[in-house]
C-alpha cells in the first residue's frame, strides 16, 4: 500500500509538533548508500538505520539500496546488513523489525562510471516508490572517498536522480574530510552545489551527533548557574582534547598525508570550540545556531608565532594496553620518510569581548595514554586566599570538564576542607554521569544524524561557511609545518611530544591529565 501522508501523522494525527515528549518520526523515504561494503557503512550507518527502525522512528515502508562494485543479489546484500546489524547495533535484535526492514532492501552492482548501473538504480528507486510507498523521497549517502564525489554526483544528475518531483525531496550526505585545504574544500563544494541546492547537502561531523556534545548547549543555556562566569573575567583558559590509545590500524592509505590536524582539529575540535564559545542563539533552529558558530569562527586568531604556539608529533615504538607496539614509521604501508603528524596541538584566540585574553588549546593524537575526549574550562584562581601555602598545597584551579567519551558526563572540580581540626583544602570532584542518571542509553551519533537527514533537520550539520572558516585558520599552520622538517617524536603510551608541554609552559600553564 502506498503511504500518502507522513508516517508521524498517520501514527498520531493529533500530534502537536511542539510537544517534545513525542519522538520525531521520519515520513515515507528511502536511502541509497554508495560504498555500502566499507567499514563506515557496515559498522555505523546500517546499524544506526536498524536502531532507528527498532525504536519506531522509521516509516514501515522504508527502503534501503546498496550500491557497490560487487556481483551480489538482493539476498546477498540482505545478509551483509543482517551480519552488520547483529554485530554493531545498539538495540536488541528483533526478528519482526528485521523482517519489516529486509523486505525493503535492494542492491545495485556497478562502479561509479557505469551508466547502466545508474539507470538500474533509477529503476530500483522507482520500484521502491511503487511497492514501498517511499514517495520519491531519497537520501544519497556518499560513504566513499571524496575523490569519487564528482563521478557520483554527476551521474545522479545525468540520470535524473538528483531532481525531486513536486512534493518530494532528494538529499545528499557527505562524510568528512571536507577537502584537505581551503582550495580543495571550495572545489568540492562547487561540484556538489552544481547538482544539489545548499539546503539539500548534509555534511556529517559525527561528533556533533553525540549526546554529550549536544548537552553543551543545554548546560550553557538552560542553567543560570554557568552563564555569569562563562567569560574572560573568570575563565583562565580552555583545553579541548581528543586522545586515542590506538595507532592507525588499517587506515594507512587514508591517514598518511592527512595527519592529526586535518583529520580531527579542522572538524571535530573546532566545532566543539565553537559550541563552547558561541553566544546564546535566539533559537536552536539551524540558521540561528550557524549564525552564532560562524561569528566565533570569524573571530579566530591564528598564533603569530607558530613555532611557539603549535606542536606536532609522531609516535614511536612503546607500550600500549600492556603490549609492545610499533612506531608510526614501522606501521604497514607507511613510507619510512613520512612526515605526517600523529599528534597536533595548537593555541587559538577568539577576538571577542567575551573571550579576549582567554587562550583555547586544542590537542589530538594517536597512541596516547588513554582514549578520551573532553572539554575542560579552567577558571582563574581566587584573587585572595586567606590560607597559608601548607593549607592549599593540593589546591588546583576550579574546572568544569565535559566528558564527551568514553565516560559521558560532566565533572566540576572545586576546593573543599579536609575533615579534621586543621584548615586544609584539597581538590574534590562533583560528578554527573549519563549512565548513572538516565535509564535509557544514549543513542549513537549516527542514529541522530541519519534521522535528521531523513527529517530534513540540519542544525547539527556544518555548512560550507563553517568548513571554509576552519580551513582558513588551519592552512597557515599546515603550511608552516610543511616547511619546518619532521614532527617531534613521542613514545607510544605517553601524552605527546615535549614541544606540547613547552607550548603551555610558555604561557604558565600545564595540560590536564585526563
Question: For residue 146, what pLDDT is reported?
Answer: 83
| 43 and 130 part of one domain | yes
- 209 and 451 Cβ atoms separated by less than 8 Å: no
Instruction: Kindly state whether residues 171 and 244 are assigned to the same domain.
Output: no
Residues 221 and 293 in one domain: yes
CA separation for the pair 257, 198 (Å, rounded): 29
Burial class (CB in 10 A: 0-12, 13-18, 19+), 415: middle
Give the separation between CA 15 and CA 506, rounded to whole angstroms: 58
Q: Distance between CA atoms of 354 and 343, rounded to whole angstroms? A: 30
Q: Are residues 243 and 318 in the same domain?
A: yes
CB atoms within 10 A of CB 319: 13
Pairing mode of beta strands 343-350, 359-365: antiparallel
Are residues 417 and 305 located together in one domain of the fold?
Answer: yes
Per-residue pLDDT tens, the chain, 514 aa: give them: 334 444 443 334 334 444 444 567 888 999 999 988 888 898 999 999 999 999 999 999 999 999 988 777 778 888 888 988 989 999 889 989 999 999 999 999 989 999 999 999 999 999 999 999 999 999 999 998 888 898 999 999 999 999 998 889 999 999 887 888 999 999 989 999 999 998 899 998 887 888 888 889 989 999 999 999 999 999 999 999 999 999 998 778 788 889 999 999 999 999 999 999 999 999 888 888 889 999 999 999 988 899 999 999 999 999 988 899 999 999 999 999 999 999 999 999 999 999 999 999 999 999 999 999 999 999 998 775 665 555 555 567 889 999 988 888 899 988 777 787 677 777 788 888 877 777 666 778 889 899 999 998 777 788 889 999 999 999 999 999 999 989 999 999 999 999 999 999 999 999 998 8
474 and 422 belong to one structural domain: yes
φ/ψ region of 257 (left if φ > 0, alpha if ψ in -120 to 50, else beta) reads left
Q: Among 268, 287, 384, 484, which one carries the catalytic annotation? A: 268
Element (H, E) at 246: none
Q: Which is it for strands 105-109 and 63-68: parallel, antiparallel or unpaired?
A: parallel
- Contact predicate 265/364, CB 8 Å: yes
Across-strand partners of 445? none
Sign, CA dihedral 460-84-23-169, equals positive
Distance between CA atoms of residues 451 and 31, nearest Å? 11
Q: Which residue range is the domain that position 272 belongs to?
A: 209-505
Domain finish residue from 126, 151, 175: 175
Q: What is the pLDDT of residue 207?
A: 79
DSSP per-residue codes, 263-331: IIIIIIIHHHHHHHHPPPPSSSSHHHHHHHHHHHHHTEE--S-HHHHEEEEEEESEEETTEEE--GGGS
217-252 exposure pattern, b = at least 16 Cβ within 10 A, e = fewer: bebeeeeeeeeeebeeeebbbbbbbbbbbebbeebb
| Residue linked to cell 537527514 | 453
- Give residue 421's pLDDT: 62
In a domain, 189, yes or no: no
- The four Cα atoms 222, 204, 54, 131 give a dihedral, to 10 degrees, of 130
Do residues 216 and 307 share a domain?
yes
Catalytic residue status for 287: no
Three cell numbers written together for 468: 571554509
Q: Is residue 101 part of a domain?
A: yes
CA distance 233 to 228: 9
- Say whether both 308 and 220 belong to one domain: yes
Q: Which of 353, 335, 120 is nearest to 233 (CA)?
A: 353
**Distance between CA atoms of residues 188 and 180, nearest Å:** 10
Beta carbons within 8 Å of 430's beta carbon, 6+ residues apart: 411, 412, 413, 414
One domain, residues 302 and 220: yes
- Listed in sequence order, the residues at least 6 apart from 27 whose beta carbon sits closer than 8 Å to its beta carbon are 3, 5, 6, 7, 8, 9, 59, 135, 137, 454
pLDDT at residue number 443: 78
Is residue 285 a part of any domain in this protein? yes
Provide the CATH number for the domain around residue 25.
Answer: 3.40.50.720
Phi/psi of residue 11, each to 5°?
A: -75, -30
CA torsion 466-344-477-351 (nearest 10°) is: 60
Place of cell 598545597: 393
Q: How far apart are CA 137 and CA 67, in angstroms?
A: 17
Residue 118 inside a domain? The answer is: yes
Residue with cell 566528558: 403
Within this chain, do residues 163 and 242 fall inside the same structural domain, yes or no? no
Among residues 383, 413, 441, 434, the alpha carbon closest in space to that of 513 is found at: 413
CA gap 313, 324 in Å, rounded: 19
DSSP reduced 3-state for 494: coil
Are residues 323 and 245 in contact, defined by beta-carbon separation less than 8 angstroms? no
**In a domain? residue 25:** yes
Q: What is the DSSP string of 338-391?
A: ----SEEEEEEEE-STTTTT-EEEEEEESS-SS-EEEEEEEEPPPS---S-GGG
Q: Is residue 418 part of a domain?
A: yes
* Reported pTM: 0.88
CB–CB of 430/412 below 8 Å?
Answer: yes
Number of domains in the chain: 2
| Any domain includes 431 | yes
Say if residue 220 is in the same domain as residue 153: no
Same domain (yes/no): 154, 219: no
Please count the other Cβ atoms lying within 10 Å of the Cβ belonging to residue 276.
21
Task: Give the domain CATH number at 375.
Answer: 3.30.360.10
Cell of 375: 572539554
Q: What is the tally of helices (H) and strands (E) in the chain?
A: 18, 18
Q: In terms of Cα–Cα distance, which of 461, 45, 402 is closest to 211?
A: 402
* Residue 37 located in a structural domain: yes
Q: Of 427, 424, 418, which Cα lies nearest the Cα of 378?
A: 427
CA distance 346 to 266: 11
Amino acid at each position: 500500500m502506498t503511504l500518502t501522508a507522513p508516517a508521524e501523522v498517520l501514527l498520531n494525527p493529533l500530534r502537536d509538533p511542539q510537544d517534545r515528549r513525542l519522538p520525531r518520526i521520519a515520513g515515507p523515504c528511502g536511502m541509497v548508500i554508495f560504498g555500502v561494503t566499507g567499514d563506515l557503512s557496515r559498522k555505523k550507518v546500517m546499524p544506526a538505520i536498524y536502531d532507528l527502525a527498532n525504536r519506531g522512528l522509521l516509516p514501515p515502508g522504508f527502503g534501503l539500496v546498496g550500491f557497490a562494485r560487487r556481483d551480489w543479489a538482493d539476498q546477498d546484500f540482505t545478509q551483509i546488513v543482517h551480519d552488520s546489524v547483529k554485530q554493531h547495533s545498539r538495540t536488541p535484535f528483533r526478528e519482526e523489525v528485521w523482517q519489516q526492514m529486509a523486505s525493503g532492501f535492494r542492491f545495485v552492482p556497478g562502479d561509479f562510471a557505469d551508466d547502466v548501473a545508474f539507470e538500474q538504480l533509477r529503476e530500483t528507486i522507482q520500484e521502491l516508490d511503487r511497492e514501498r510507498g517511499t514517495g520519491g523521497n531519497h537520501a544519497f549517502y556518499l560513504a566513499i572517498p571524496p575523490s569519487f564525489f564528482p563521478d557520483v554526483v554527476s551521474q545522479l544528475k545525468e540520470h535524473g536522480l538528483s531532481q525531486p518531483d513536486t512534493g518530494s525531496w532528494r538529499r545528499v550526505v557527505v562524510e568528512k574530510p571536507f577537502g584537505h585545504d581551503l582550495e580543495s574544500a571550495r572545489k568540492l563544494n562547487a561540484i556538489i552545489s552544481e547538482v544539489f541546492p545548499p539546503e539539500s547537502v548534509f555534511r556529517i561531523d559525527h561528533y556533533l551527533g553525540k549526546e554529550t556534545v549536544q548537552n553543551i548547549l543545554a548546560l550553557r543555556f538552560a542553567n543560570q548557574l554557568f552563564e555569569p562566569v562563562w567569560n574572560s573575567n573568570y575563565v583562565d583558559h580552555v583545553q579541548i582534547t581528543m586522545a586515542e590509545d590506538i595507532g592507525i590500524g588499517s587506515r594507512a592509505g587514508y591517514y598518511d598525508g592527512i595527519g592529526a590536524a586535518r583529520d580531527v582539529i579542522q572538524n571535530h575540535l573546532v566545532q566543539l570550540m565553537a559550541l563552547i564559545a558561541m553566544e546564546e542563539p535566539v533559537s536552536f533552529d539551524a540558521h540561528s545556531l550557524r549564525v552564532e558558530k560562524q561569528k566565533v569562527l570569524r573571530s579566530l586568531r591564528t598564533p603569530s608565532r607558530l613555532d611557539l604556539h603549535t606542536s606536532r608529533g609522531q609516535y614511536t615504538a612503546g607500550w600500549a594496553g600492556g603490549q609492545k607496539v610499533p612506531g608510526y614509521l614501522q606501521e604497514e604501508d607507511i613510507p619510512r620518510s613520512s612526515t605526517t603528524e600523529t599528534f597536533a596541538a595548537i593555541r587559538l584566540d577568539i577576538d571577542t569581548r567575551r573571550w579576549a585574553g582567554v587562550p583555547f588549546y586544542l590537542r589530538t593524537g594517536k597512541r596516547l595514554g588513554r582514549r578520551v575526549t573532553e572539554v575542560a574550562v579552567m577558571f582563574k584562581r581566587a584573587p585572595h586566599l586567606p590560607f597559608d601555602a601548607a593549607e592549599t598545597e593540593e589546591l588546583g584551579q576550579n574546572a568544569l570538564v565535559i566528558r564527551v567519551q568514553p565516560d559521558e558526563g560532566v565533572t566540576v572540580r572545586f576546593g573543599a576542607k579536609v575533615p579534621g581540626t586543621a584548615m586544609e583544602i584539597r581538590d574534590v570532584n562533583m560528578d554527573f554521569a549519563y549512565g548513572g542518571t538516565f535509564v535509557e542509553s544514549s543513542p549513537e551519533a549516527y542514529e541522530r544524524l541519519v534521522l535528521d537527514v531523513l527529517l530534513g533537520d540540519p542544525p547539527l550539520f556544518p555548512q560550507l561557511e563553517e568548513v571554509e572558516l576552519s580551513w582558513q585558520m588551519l592552512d597557515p599552520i599546515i603550511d608552516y609545518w610543511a616547511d619546518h622538517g619532521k614532527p617531534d617524536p613521542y613514545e607510544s603510551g605517553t601524552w605527546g611530544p615535549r614541544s606540547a608541554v613547552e607550548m603551555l609552559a610558555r604561557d604558565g600553564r600545564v595540560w590536564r591529565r585526563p
